[in-house]
Structure 1
């Protein structure tokens, strides 16, 4: 059974994975824990132990025969009834088992295992309402049993009653709050988008299970949701060290690396992931996208080409391939894919922008103005379209118009060096020497920051310098 993670909790693609909620995995385990904790009468203890050994060995028929012998002498022994119910279920007689578990709860209402097993039968029939009622009835007789509290919390969380689920978990005695408890509590908080408390609980759970990849992935997603990309990288890098050959983890590591401006790390991780799953579309697309952020941008082409082959109706693939081809100055083929992008989705402002820049590069100012204007009609905040119009107007000697477009681009994207450079040139041509010098200083500052970002993208993350394995 899974707790449903709200849409808000699914932060960045694969993060915050939906994982099975912590619960008693089978009827047998619940039964054994239940009877062993009970104070069985001495004369029948040996027979119950023998039945348990048979159940451990999977010999359900002989276990049933042994338990029937016990019950002939002690027809209301709750431990024997509970174990008989398990053996009956395992032999496919579910309706009969329900009656046996009910009898066990009446014989000893304080036996948690009988209530748990009965509730689980109802859940297997997809009757969660009846299952929840059964657990709550069990809690009325054993209010501090950690298993009953945890199972009840799980079903309440499934119903979206997160506050009530947390209340049940907080009633678990401190002595029973082991790693599984904190993991369950963290997932309930996570489902309710309470990321601070979810992180706190999962970190406590991780202390008891330091090699839990699942919890590290959950913590990665929480850190991303809270905007802490550095901490997210630490979590996912730690998970990857534990499972270095997991394609999913490599993908997640690459995504977080790119958010931390570690383009080279992202590329390395995706290359390894593609060795394992060479035709997975999302891997191909992401690697191409990551390569566009590096000096090896020309290597993105084969990945985008393969993506388009696999997903010919996805406008993103044609758009990215068109942009990569534009960077290679393969204008005719780039134009073909950009036009296909717009055929699939006419609202792709980037496609109109790239077509405008192809027209600019091929000295077709009329078409360039048409396409770039259309890009701004689709997306008025498209900084690069303003920059492109500025370039067209500047080449035509229309410096006032050029200035207006470059100023709009600088307002929308003040960190782009080339905008400030072009503004400095236009101001100089318009005789505004002081503003030209000011823009030239801004260009130099922005270019310095851009160079630093490029170096940052190629550096080794601090966690790698210590000799830890890389993708």
Structure 2
């Protein structure tokens, strides 16, 4: 996008390219990403659907469609799109991480664990998958493993809000309320929206 002064120019250029070559999956994909920058989810979705229709092996297109489905709260579609991405590119870590995240939301810890293990085998430094894995360990009550992972994340990314929130959850589970409050503040300072109920619980115990 370097040669364009703004997003509108970039979008206009991509549309012109697509007029000449409407079958170009990459141009549809790039246009979808541009619409996402504008938070125009409907137009973005349309372009990503065109992208995978013309380039069915474009795994990133399925991942983006999964992200839009997640935005709508449609976990099943998000899961399906990410599964399609892994069918096109089995060694692409991102959709495996997303599958793990969705399975965890759906309460399927076994399949979540399998998908996250796969994501981290393909990319051991994949921080979102590490954070989701720590959430999974918290869900099953394995605070020691969760804490190990969180230390690893925060050593490398001290401003990663979700990891601070998970540390707060571990401290709360152990009734270490002052530490939970400290970690919660760090999570919020780093852009993580701490759930209101959890916030109230921590505040009530301090």
Residue 418 (str. 1) matches residue 185 (str. 2): no
- The 10-residue stretch of structure 1 (347-356 or 269-278) with the greater mean CA deviation from structure 2: 269-278
Residues of 1 paired with 2:9 and 2:166: CA distance?
38
Residues of 1 paired with 2:128 and 2:145: CA distance?
16
**Residues 313 and 243 (structure 1), Cα distance of their counterparts in 2 relative to 1, 3 Å cut:** closer
**Residues 241 and 421 (structure 1), Cα distance of their counterparts in 2 relative to 1, 3 Å cut:** farther
Superposed displacement of residue 325, structure 1: 2.3
Equivalent residue in structure 1 for 2:145, among 341, 355, 367: 367
Equivalent residue in structure 2 for 1:247, among 13, 19, 25: 25
* Number of aligned residues: 206
Residues of 2 paired with 1:380 and 1:298: CA distance?
33
Residues of 1 paired with 2:10 and 2:204: CA distance?
46
Equivalent residue in structure 2 for 1:343, among 121, 125, 128: 121
Superposed displacement of residue 238, structure 1: 6.3
Residues of 2 paired with 1:262 and 1:315: CA distance?
26
**Residues 261 and 421 (structure 1), Cα distance of their counterparts in 2 relative to 1, 3 Å cut:** farther
Q: How does 1:261-272 map to 2 (within 5 A)?
A: 261-272=39-50
Task: Determine if contact 2:171/2:179 at 8 Å carries over to the other structure.
Answer: yes
Structure 2 spans left out of the alignment, 5+ residues: none
Structure 1 spans left out of the alignment, 5+ residues: 1-10, 12-192, 196-221, 431-471
Q: TM-score, normalised by structure 2?
A: 0.83
- Residue 428 of structure 1: aligned partner: 204
**Residues 367 and 410 (structure 1), Cα distance of their counterparts in 2 relative to 1, 3 Å cut:** same
- Residue 327 of structure 1: aligned partner: 105
Task: Determine if contact 1:394/1:426 at 8 Å carries over to the other structure.
Answer: yes
Superposed displacement of residue 421, structure 1: 6.0
Superposed displacement of residue 243, structure 1: 5.7
Q: How does 1:160-309 map to 2 (within 5 A)?
A: 195=3, 222-223=4-5, 228-229=6-7, 232-233=10-11, 236=14, 245-309=23-87
Superposed displacement of residue 376, structure 1: 1.8
Superposed displacement of residue 364, structure 1: 2.8
Superposed displacement of residue 262, structure 1: 1.7
